Structures are given as structure tokens and as C-alpha cells.
Structure 1
Amino acid sequence: MPLPGPAVVPEPISPDPPGSTPRPLLTQSWLDLAFLHWAADPADVAPLLPAGCVPDTLDGVTYVGLVAFRMHRVGWLRLPGVPYLGSFPETNVRLYTVDGEGRRGVVFRSLDASRLLPVAIGRSVFRLPYMWSRMTVSRDGDVLTYTGSRRLPGPRGASSRITLRVGEPVAEPTGSEHFVTARWGMPTTLLGRPVHLPNTHPRWPLHRAELLKCEEDLVAAAGLAAPVGEPASVLYSPGVPVRFGRPARRQA
């Protein structure tokens, strides 16, 4: 049975952004990222997406992502990033979409962050499901550990603990690795209007990674089936600087 939504041809999967953002709305850096992905049935994901979007698929499947990292120096417009309030650990549960214009994007089911003010702004301005959590990111040589425990709004106590060992750089990422990392926007709402918020950054520097531990219930708390078995993909990146452009109108 075909999934409901826009019958459009998706834009190509590309490791490079489709354009530039000469007048950014937001600037920030994403550092020390752990990318964990599990394959999922598109029919299971479709009801969780915004109106006007369908699951993005590769070889008949879509993916559920658990991505932990350090947000660094979030800044508005061309102002310099804020060193304390704009720098914090974050862990996201995310899905992959195509909208009515064929734009590939990311839909966040939850975004756990350790700074209350960015959480409040993300929830009120962009209607993103930010959660205030206790979080840490620590490093011991080539081993990184990401921990989090949710405070508000809940479910209180939803948590994650991810430990991985960074491996060799990826000389040439596979198609599926580009699919889950090279994303150039997200469908969201701004002041009650459906919009596409574009982003640009340099090509991801990716590394293979060995997952040493993954104890989490964030995926289930986000309304998805709890992951079964090992992830289909585990990657690490030291990070990239990111620029978000002005929102574009999106069909709902």
C-alpha cells in the first residue's frame, strides 16, 4: 500500500549542501557526534511525521537515528556564539523525511539538552520537542561516553548511556552513510506556519566506531518501537560548523 503524502521525486542524496547561507539565521557547531541508526519500516514511521512529509527511504527502508553530541556556541544572526548558554550536550531521536517539494530532511522526535534557556526557546519559537535533561559527554583517549537523564517535561527519567570507541577515518562513505548524515534541512513550524529550515556545513569528516555500550529508552519515549539488536550503522564525527538559513514556506 502506498504511503500517504506528496508524490514527488526526492532531491539527490548529496554529501555537500545544495546552496550557501550568506545571511544565517542561526550559527553553531556540532562536535564529537555519535551517530547510531537502526533500520525501520516506513509504514511504522509515517504516522509520526508532520503533514506534507513522508518517510525518506533507501532500498525500501528508512532509519531511526539516535545522535549524541556537543552543541557549541549557538549564535543568532551574525552575532558571536554564546560560550555558556550556547554550549551544552544534546541527544536527539530523529527520523528522515521528504516534503512536498522533494526536499530531504530530518524530523526530531525528541531533543534532550542540558541548558534550560535553549530548551525553552526551541520549544516556544520553533515548536521543537526539546527536553531539559542532565547530560555529560566525557572522553578517555579514543573512547567517548554520552549520558543523559530527562528532567522536564517527561517522561521524567528517560535516559541514555552511549559509549563508543573511535576508529579509522572513512575515506569514502557509503550511500547509506551519506543518507543518514548528509541532511540539509528540517520541516518544522514557525509562528504557526509550516516551514522548511535549511542548513549548510562542510562535508562530514566521518570515522568508523565500535559501540561498546548502548543503554537507552529515549527511542521508545519518542513514540517508536524500542530498537532490537545492534544498530545498522555506528559512526563518529569530530564535528562541523553549521549555519541555518532563513525559513522557506512548506506545503502542509
Structure 2
Amino acid sequence: MPDSGSPRRYHRTMHPVEPVAPHAPRELRRTLFRQNWRDLVFLHWPVDPFQVAGLLPPGTVPDLHNGRTYVGLVFFRMRDLAFGRTPPIPYLGSFDEVNVRLYSRDALGRRGVVFRSLECDRLLPVLAADASFRLPYRWSRIHSHWFDNRLLYRTSRRGTPNAGARVWLEVTSTPTTPDPVEEFLTNRWGLHGRAFGRSYYLPNTHPEWSFRHCSLLDWDDSLIAAAGLSRPREAPLSVLYAPGVPVRFGTPVSLPGT
């Protein structure tokens, strides 16, 4: 991991920067795997870019919007995981997930996310993701329930009693339009990671988000602190709900110079 106290990598100039667009900027050459994301809840807080810089893989820097970067806490249901054009994996291909993510860009200007942790309530996907992409999945207990128009997510990491999160949300059928910061945070077409001594970019594509008006009723979190960042004390700056999208991931490419 880079030294969290060094600002040099954060200040490095990297151009051009891929624009934030409502649709994926390019088509995938090949689909490595497919999945459906459902009932997504996005919570976001501003965070110190210098703190973030030390948590990103080599070859990337914090992605900024008007000089600020963010940490996201995202709750959703993963459904119908499938590889290539094969049918979805029964049972093991559907699970709930909660992740802590940061926002990155690389020397080619590609914007992405960096996962600091991914809670999952199925053990086999945890082991598979760690073995293939070295993603920081954690085997956790996750409960998600609808109560009329109110949605509850609750998670606790197995073996780590102080790592968990909860969100309680009221959702309406009224569409809502994200503001520029929310577009910056949710229009992401790949992830940056590091595996086997190299940093990589894993592209994805999905239809345009469809958000609905929602109200945050309650929340709690200790996953962000467990991921190496300051624990949020204030309510999130942004709260979004999306019914879901089908997603396709392409093949990873190594970042130059890493």
C-alpha cells in the first residue's frame, strides 16, 4: 500500500480525464460476467483526499469533484451472477452485499471505484472474488426487508463484532434526478484494484440509472472506520435509491507502470 502521509501521488497531473456521462462511454469487447443489482441504496460523505490517496492502488489517484472526494456506503441485492453467456448460477449467484468504496482515476483518465470492503452473505463468492481479483470481500450476516414502502438493510461482519452497518429508508414511486455530485458518484464504468503485484482496471456497463425519491429514516455505520477512514459523525451528504440495473463486466487490463 502507498504511504498515506505522502501527497506526491495525489498531486500528480493525469490527463485527459474521462467525462462523467449518463451512459457507459464505450462498449465492452468481451463480457467476462453478468449480474443484476437490485434495491440499491447509496450513502455518501465527503472525505479528506490525502487520507484517500494512501488507500488507493498504485497507478491511481483520488477522483475529485470541485476539489472534494467522497466515501460511499452502498447496500444492494446481487442477483443472477453468470459468467460469459452461461445461465445464472443457481443459489450461490444471488446474495446481498454492502460495500465501502472510494473514487479513483488512473493515468489514462479512466474514472473508477476502489472497494475498501465488500460484505457478502455467501461464503463461496467471498473466496472466489479474493482468489481471482483480490477484492476485499468479507463474509457477513446481511438482512434486507421491505416493510410496505420502507426498506431496511442491516449487516454485521462475522468474527468482527465492531464492523457493521444499518440503513432504514422510505421510498416513493416518484422519479428524482441526481445533482451533479451524485452523477459524478454513480456514473462509474469500472473499478480499480490490485492483484498479483499489478494494478488493474475492470470495466463495466449498464443502462442509465433510474432513481426514486427517498427519505433517510435512520442509519448507523462502523464499516467505513473498519476500512481505514474516519467514522462518519454527521448524516450523509447524499442519499439515493435505485430499483436496479443489469450489469456486464469486461476483462481486466493492467495499469501502465504498476
- Class of the TM-score when normalised by the shorter of the 2 chains: over 0.9
Deviation string 1:108-145 (CA, Å, 9 cap, x unpaired) is 00000000000001111100000000111100121100
Q: Give the AA of the match of 1:245.
A: G
CA distance in 2, matches of 1:174, 1:247: 30
The 3-state SS of whatever aligns with 2:67 is coil
CA distance in 2, matches of 1:6, 1:116: 40
Number of the residue aligned with 1:215: 220
CA distance in 2, matches of 1:156, 1:107: 24
The 3-state SS of whatever aligns with 2:54 is helix
How many residue pairs were aligned?
Answer: 249
Query: Which structure 2 residues correspond to residues 1-252 of structure 1 after superposition, within 5 A?
Result: 3-21=10-28, 23-151=30-158, 155-167=160-172, 168-170=174-176, 172-251=177-256, 252=258
The 3-state SS of whatever aligns with 1:238 is strand
CA distance in 2, matches of 1:86, 1:243: 14
- Residues 196 and 132 of structure 1: is their aligned pair in 2 closer, same or farther, counting only changes over 3 Å? same
Question: Is residue 128–residue 188 contact of structure 1 (8 Å, CA) maintained in 2?
Answer: yes
Q: Give the AA of the match of 1:232.
A: L
Task: Report the TM-score, using the length of structure 2 for normalisation.
Answer: 0.92
CA distance in 2, matches of 1:140, 1:83: 27
Greater CA drift, 1-10 or 188-197: 1-10
CA distance in 1, matches of 2:199, 2:17: 19
Q: Give the AA of the match of 2:114.
A: V
Q: Give the AA of the match of 1:58.
A: H
Distance apart, 1:234 and its partner CA: 0.2
Deviation string 1:90-120 (CA, Å, 9 cap, x unpaired) is 0000000011111000000000000000000
The 3-state SS of whatever aligns with 1:21 is coil
Question: Is residue 14–residue 108 contact of structure 2 (8 Å, CA) maintained in 1?
Answer: no
The 3-state SS of whatever aligns with 1:209 is strand
Distance apart, 1:244 and its partner CA: 0.1
Q: CA RMSD in A?
A: 1.5
Distance apart, 1:249 and its partner CA: 2.3
Structure 2: gaps spanning 5 or more residues: 1-6
Q: Give the AA of the match of 1:31.
A: R
Q: Give the AA of the match of 1:250.
A: L
Structure 1: gaps spanning 5 or more residues: none
Question: Is residue 205–residue 249 contact of structure 2 (8 Å, CA) maintained in 1?
Answer: yes
CA distance in 1, matches of 2:244, 2:81: 14
Q: Give the AA of the match of 1:53.
A: T
Task: Report the TM-score, using the length of structure 1 for normalisation.
Answer: 0.94
Question: Is residue 209–residue 234 contact of structure 1 (8 Å, CA) maintained in 2?
Answer: yes
Distance apart, 1:213 and its partner CA: 1.1
